[in-house]
Amino acid sequence: MSDYAVINPATGETVREYPTISDEDLRAAIGRADTAHRDWTGTTTVQDRAALLRRLGEIHAERRQELGEIIGREMGKPIEQAVGEVDFCTAIYEFYADNAARLMADEPIDLLAGDGSAFIRRSSYGVLLGIMPWNYPYYQVARFAGPNLAVGNAILLKHAPQCPESAEAIEQMYHAAGFPEGAYTNIYATNEQIEWVIADPRVRGVSLTGSERAGAAVAEIAGRNLKKVVLELGGSDPFVLLGTDDLDAAVQAAVGARLENTGQACNAAKRFIVVDELYEPFLAKFTAALTAVKPTDPSSPDAAIGPLSSSTATERLADQVKRAVDQGATLVAGGEHDGNFFESTVLTGITPANDGYREEFFGPVAAVYRADDEDDAVRLANDTPFGLGSYVMTNDRDQALRVADRIDAGMVFVNAVGLEGAELPFGGVKRSGFGRELGRFGMDEFVNKKMIRVGG
């Protein structure tokens, strides 16, 4: 079997296989990207590139249903969520089309002494390699490639092996929008090939979204070759419930935060930390609401969760749940699967001695913890190797901001879920990686911030 193949996780059917790129073709692709960066950047303005991004967003909107169906076949995303992902991509491309010129503008520096002036001028970095995951096949590419193409960088994009059809569609849309040859290139490369792509002197930086293991491997190769890296890795985001005037609303928010993308989101809420006085009623209502959501055919417009993305993902999650229970956790509900359709599952009693205390459950599995008070809740929230996102729910505004300050994570959402936006920076700390994507900060990662000092 080819490294790249569409295997429908709902049925197990191998839909289509794609050949990996040869070494010769891959070196030629790097050369075209290098040429495109030098020639394209030198002959276009940020306004020119922004216009191409706007057209790219329009093409996504025009093909939204078709694109959604593709990733349903590839990784089992429910169709309404799939077309919603495409819509988010349109918003990202529109954001950079509208704001790229402003974000690239010269930035004056106030001089402490001497006559004349000084300023920062932002310019392109060069050829960038993107290594993208399967869970958001379009969105992950948009948030990396969109701002960097606006800057004038050229993109080599290695997608996940189970997402070759969407990878092909993305490249076609870039070409249809008017980007020149080499500005954006899809590469069906192996991990071994990626090692020497990173080392190639024409490649100036790498952005990876994926596992800790993949991030560590890429960062190590990039470090040896003095290449800049942005890493967005795993997360075990806390949902901290400290107070509420509407427990049912808090429960619905918790269910939504856990089950987005069938629970396969890095920044999904995975650990539900509830103060003592709310713990028992929350656990009862949350368990009922979560397990009422059943996995079903992702092509159905009513599907809230579908299958896990692959048999490997299912086997891994089943093993995690079993080990957690064997090590003392209580299986409150769920835990079974039929093929890749995994039941919504609730665990309690996970202690620091349990493997599950440190692991990320990538699927519809929720771990619920009881906290004595605010301080104990913060301690539990921060007692994890991860630090991507977090959620703080309370009816006390002062408490909300106080706890948000104390959470050791890259993002905090207060009293709401699902509020990500094209203008909001995305990224984490600790073993969740470093660097930011989206918004102003995402556009500033792979940019030469050149200081120019002019004498009086």
Q: What are the residue numbers of the active site?
A: 232, 266
- Say how far apart CA 308 and CA 259 lie, in whole Å: 11
Helical ranges in 225-330 per DSSP H? 247-259, 276-291, 311-326
Whether the CA torsion 64, 67, 73, 76 is positive or negative: it is negative
DSSP code for 133: -
Sequence-separated (6 or more) residues with CB below 8 Å from residue 437: 143, 144, 147, 207, 230, 232, 425, 426, 427, 445
Q: What is the CA radius of gyration of the chain?
A: 23
Identify the burial level of 401 via C-beta atoms within 10 angstroms of its C-beta, where 0-12 means exposed, 13-18 middle and 19 or more buried. middle
C-alpha distance from residue 127 to each of 33, 40, 160, 169, 224 (Å): 6, 12, 20, 21, 18
Q: What are phi and psi of 269, to 5 degrees?
A: -65, 130
